[in-house]
């Protein structure tokens, strides 16, 4: 028996209805913020992802050659494709561009709880400016999305890549080795960072000072510890967020995000209920378009891990109840099957969701099926009732039955 490939999933109807429902909440929230949806292909030239993330990305992605011997790869993320699309076809549009996307991404890694080889990301990119309003707009959208989904326990932590970059430069880390150190700090691998610092002849005391900064979390008061540039910027941002009713944020000077293209503010959201894989959202301000052959444009963006945030909602006990159908139409005998088809068609024409028995079941089994599909009413079509232009309608919740004239049938479902 063929299974779906390792790390991928089939979504059955109940799960899929739940996913589409929450997807629609994210989409509606993005639209309310004036963001517009775009889509890019499932695969891209492999080079695009190497440009964004460096050649090591090849170890983690589905990269292959197509029949024309082109190097292509299933997208591992969507910021690079969106910026490629911006450079190709939107660079002359009025700015800012406020774009969002929803779709599958792919990483070849060991599957574990909340981590799949095919996973779904919802993300947004605000292209065109770097200032506190732009950053606030992006963070406020992320916070509104998480809130609109109904997740209760989450934390948004805001940092600034300039802080650690400046500290490393001051400590004497050569700029070409800065990314290497930042990646260790990002993962709080202090022992490994210490070895790196040692290899650069940086004193333990200086290293300790840097480690302490990466552990500094709190309100605006922690901004006193850092350089005036980053500090006053983050103060302005936090004030702007407060004006937008986004108060549940912390300053976290240890938020690093490994990639070179971040230019200033960076942020993450996490759901503590998820344990080790708790990050549900990450982003920041960046500049990437010039790597892809366009002019340099400042942007702010983020991505939400859709699978993980749904998992977090599940862990909080959130239940989702599907819609079911309004009517389940049952022909009592073979000679009324065509009439039953007319009736189901009339209901559907009125916008009423209606199923019909096609298994030629006996009444008891048909009622069981009506329950199985979550029908509100069963519409029982018999010859005698039809002779009076009527059908029997059974309320599947209460079990009550009554005769209803065909001309009045649709009205029951209002």
Contacts of a second copy in 300-339 (CB under 8 A):
323, 325, 328, 337-339
Exactly one of 191, 359, 399, 414 binds a second copy (CB under 8 A); which one? 359
- Taking residues 54 to 93 in sequence order and writing x for each that binds a second copy by CB under 8 A, - otherwise, the string is --------x-xxxxx-x-x-x------x--xx-xxxx---
Smaller CB separation from a second copy, 104 or 183: 104
Site for a second copy in 3-42 (CB under 8 A): 3-6, 8-13, 16-17, 19-20, 27, 31-34, 36-42
At 170, is the secondary structure helix, strand, or coil? helix
Question: Other C-beta atoms within 10 Å of 89: how many?
Answer: 10
Alpha-carbon gap, residue 345 to 414, rounded angstroms: 17
Smaller CB separation from a second copy, 55 or 317: 55
Contacts 24+ apart (CB under 8 A), 269-272: 269/142, 269/143, 269/146, 269/154, 269/155, 269/156, 269/157, 269/304, 270/154, 270/155, 270/157, 271/151, 271/153, 271/154, 271/308, 271/309, 271/312, 271/315, 272/153, 272/154, 272/155
Instruction: Locate 352 and state its tokens.
Output: 């009423």
Please, what is the minimum distance in Å from the beta carbon of residue 204 to a second copy? Answer: 40
Smaller CB separation from a second copy, 272 or 349: 349
- Binding part of the chain for a second copy, among 44-52, 157-165, 188-196, 386-394 by CB under 8 A, reads 44-52
Exactly one of 26, 164, 193, 344 binds a second copy (CB under 8 A); which one? 344
Smaller CB separation from a second copy, 27 or 194: 27
Site for a second copy in 224-243 (CB under 8 A): 239-240, 243
Exactly one of 345, 389, 401, 407 binds a second copy (CB under 8 A); which one? 345
Please, what is the minimum distance in Å from the beta carbon of residue 259 to a second copy? Answer: 18
Site for a second copy in 113-142 (CB under 8 A): 118, 126, 128-129, 131, 133-134, 136-137, 140
Please, what is the minimum distance in Å from the beta carbon of residue 399 to a second copy? Answer: 20
Q: Does 201 bind a second copy (CB under 8 A)?
A: no
Site for a second copy in 93-112 (CB under 8 A): 94-96, 98-99, 104, 106, 108
Q: Does 150 bind a second copy (CB under 8 A)?
A: no
Residue whose entry in the numeric block shows the structure tokens 């650690």: 164
Alpha-carbon gap, residue 306 to 313, rounded angstroms: 11
At 55, is the secondary structure helix, strand, or coil? helix
Return the sign of the alpha-carbon dihedral for residues 304, 305, 306, 311: negative
Task: Please give the order of strands across the beta sheet that includes 63-65.
Answer: 43-45, 71-74, 63-65
Smaller CB separation from a second copy, 195 or 358: 358
Smaller CB separation from a second copy, 4 or 276: 4
Q: Does 411 bind a second copy (CB under 8 A)?
A: no
How distant, in Å, are the alpha carbons of 67, 74, 129, 237, 254 from that of 133?
A: 47, 34, 9, 7, 23
Q: Does 290 bind a second copy (CB under 8 A)?
A: no
Q: Does 397 bind a second copy (CB under 8 A)?
A: no
First-to-last alpha carbon distance for the chain, in angstroms, is 46
How distant, in Å, are the alpha carbons of 65, 249, 282, 402 from that of 115?
A: 26, 26, 15, 52
Please, what is the minimum distance in Å from the beta carbon of residue 94 to a second copy? Answer: 5
Question: Other C-beta atoms within 10 Å of 351: how many?
Answer: 9
> Are 82 and 91 within 8 A, CB to CB?
no
Exactly one of 314, 349, 363, 405 binds a second copy (CB under 8 A); which one? 349
> Are 216 and 252 within 8 A, CB to CB?
yes
> Are 182 and 255 within 8 A, CB to CB?
no
Exactly one of 368, 383, 402, 405 binds a second copy (CB under 8 A); which one? 368
Q: Does 367 bind a second copy (CB under 8 A)?
A: no
Core vs surface per residue 147-173: b (16+ CB within 10 A) or e: eebebeebbbbbbbbbbbbebbeebeb
Exactly one of 113, 152, 245, 247 binds a second copy (CB under 8 A); which one? 245
Smaller CB separation from a second copy, 272 or 293: 293
Binding-site residue total for a second copy (CB under 8 A)? Answer: 102
Exactly one of 354, 367, 396, 409 binds a second copy (CB under 8 A); which one? 354
């Amino acid at each position: 028996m063929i299974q779906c490939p390792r790390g991928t999933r089939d979504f059955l109807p109940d799960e899929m209805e739940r996913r589409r429902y929450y997807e629609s909440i994210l989409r509606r929230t993005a639209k309310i913020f004036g963001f517009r949806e775009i889509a890019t292909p499932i695969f891209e030239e492999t080079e695009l992802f190497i440009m964004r993330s460096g050649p090591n990305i090849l170890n983690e992605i589905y990269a292959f050659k197509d029949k024309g011997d082109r190097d292509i790869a299933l997208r591992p993320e969507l910021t690079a494709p969106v910026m490629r699309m911006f450079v190709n076809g939107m660079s002359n549009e009025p700015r800012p561009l406020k774009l969002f996307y929803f779709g599958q991404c792919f990483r070849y890694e060991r599957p574990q709880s909340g981590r799949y080889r095919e996973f779904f990301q919802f993300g947004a990119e605000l292209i065109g400016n770097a200032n506190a309003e732009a950053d606030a707009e992006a963070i406020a959208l992320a916070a509104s999305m998480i809130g609109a989904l109904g997740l209760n326990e989450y934390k948004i932590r805001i940092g600034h890549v300039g802080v650690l970059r400046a500290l490393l430069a001051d400590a004497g880390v050569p700029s070409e080795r800065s990314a290497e150190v930042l990646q260790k700090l990002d993962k709080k691998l202090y022992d490994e960072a210490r070895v790196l610092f040692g290899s650069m002849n940086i004193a333990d005391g200086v290293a300790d000072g840097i480690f302490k900064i990466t552990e500094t979390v709190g309100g605006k008061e922690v901004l006193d510890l850092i350089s005036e540039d980053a500090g006053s910027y983050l103060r302005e941002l936090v004030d702007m967020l407060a004006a937008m009713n986004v108060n549940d944020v912390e300053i976290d000077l240890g938020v690093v995000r490994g990639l070179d293209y971040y230019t200033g503010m960076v942020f993450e959201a996490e759901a503590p209920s998820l344990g080790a894989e708790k990050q549900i959202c990450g982003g920041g301000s960046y500049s990437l378009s010039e790597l892809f052959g366009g002019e340099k444009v400042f942007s702010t963006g983020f991505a939400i891990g859709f699978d993980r945030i749904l998992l977090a909602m599940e862990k909080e006990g959130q239940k989702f109840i599907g819609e079911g159908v309004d009517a389940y139409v049952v022909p009592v005998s073979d000679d009324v099957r065509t009439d039953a088809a007319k009736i189901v068609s009339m209901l559907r024409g009125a916008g009423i969701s209606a199923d019909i028995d096609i298994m030629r079941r006996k009444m008891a089994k048909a009622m069981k099926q009506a329950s199985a599909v979550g029908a509100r009413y069963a519409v029982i079509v018999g010859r005698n009732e039809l002779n009076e232009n009527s059908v029997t309608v059974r309320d599947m919740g209460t079990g009550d039955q009554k005769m209803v004239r065909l001309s009045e049938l649709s009205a029951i479902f209002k």
